[in-house]
Amino acid sequence: MVFDNLNKEFLCFFILATCSALLALEGGAVFAQKSVNNSSSSIPFVTEEISPDQTNSRHSNMVFLQRRKLKVLEKDLESKDVSSRMFAAAEIKRLMFVSAEAKPILVKVISKDENGSVRANATYSLGFLASVDKDASMLPFFIQTLQNDMYANTRVRAIGALGRMKLWTPPVIDVLANALDDRDTQVRASAALVLGEAGEAAQQTIPALESMKAQGGYVGEAADKALRKIRR
């Protein structure tokens, strides 16, 4: 009798366990099916392309934010503190969404600021923005800066700007060739290296570069690198 009761209890336990397992499997299948069904609605969220309206909205937001930043930096450029002006002049290069507004500000700084380091930073920023915009209208200003600025590092930055533009017009080649005679060795070396980037367009500068190469040292190495690139 006790044995029969145990068998009945075991049988009941087995039936209950089996039913629970079946229900769990069915529930899992239903959950899986729901997940599949729901995933179809989530896929577009991950893979859908950004619409033109969204792109325009993001661009507008960046313009708004960078325009505000530009106003702050423009004010800093008028500070009596040289460090503040140096930082602002360097920082403006990041404002590519408002480069059309930033470039005239940088031109003013390069033309009027009394500190050479501020002018050098501004020239670097202007060269960067002009190269990103492919703004050939800035070439005459960089040429003028290279010819007239009294601070050597500003002239070096102007040479770098001309190099980034990669517009090897006769006026550009001429001013770089003249810079090979600059009183500052860094300016001469920078001009030689950029002439090397000009390649065949700088053929006329080979005699001057040969003379520079003969001088040896830092400028001689720069001239040698330039000559090898021009003669490729």
Report the C-alpha gap between 152 and 163 in whole angstroms.
Answer: 17
**Confidence at residue 33, expressed as pLDDT on a 0 to 100 scale:** 43
Which of 57, 133, 138 is closest to 95 using CA atoms? 133
In this predicted structure, the answer to whether residue 40 has a pLDDT above a threshold of 60 is no
In this predicted structure, the answer to whether residue 89 has a pLDDT above a threshold of 60 is yes
Give the chain's domains with CATH numbers: 70-167 (1.25.10.10), 168-232 (1.25.10)
Q: Which two tokens stand for residue 136?
A: 């050939």
**Confidence at residue 57, expressed as pLDDT on a 0 to 100 scale:** 83
Report the C-alpha gap between 196 and 173 in whole angstroms.
Answer: 11
Report the C-alpha gap between 20 and 30 in whole angstroms.
Answer: 15
Which amino acid belongs to residue 21?
A
Share of the chain above pLDDT 70, in %: 77
In this predicted structure, the answer to whether residue 232 has a pLDDT above a threshold of 60 is yes
Count how many Cα atoms sit within 13 Å of the Cα of residue 228 in the half-sphere of its side chain: 7
pTM metric for this prediction = 0.76
Query: ∠ CA 168-170-173 to the nearest 5 degrees?
Result: 65
Q: What is the 3-state secondary structure (H, E, C) of the chain?
A: CHHHHHHHHHHHHHHHHHHHHHHHHHHHHHHHHHHHHHHHHHHHHHHCCCCHHHHHHHHHHHHHHHHHHHHHHHHHCCCCCHHHHHHHHHHHHHCHHHHHHHHHHHHHHHHHCCCHHHHHHHHHHHHHHHHHHCCHHHHHHHHHHHHHCCCHHHHHHHHHHHHHHCCCCHHHHHHHHHHCCCCCHHHHHHHHHHHHHHHHHHHHHHHHHHHHHHHCHHHHHHHHHHHHHHCC
Over residues 4-29, the pLDDT tens digits come to 443 444 444 444 444 444 444 444 44
Over residues 205-220, the pLDDT tens digits come to 999 999 999 999 999 9
Which of 120, 110, 117 is closest to 140 using CA atoms? 110
Over residues 46-83, the pLDDT tens digits come to 445 656 666 788 889 999 999 999 999 999 999 999 99
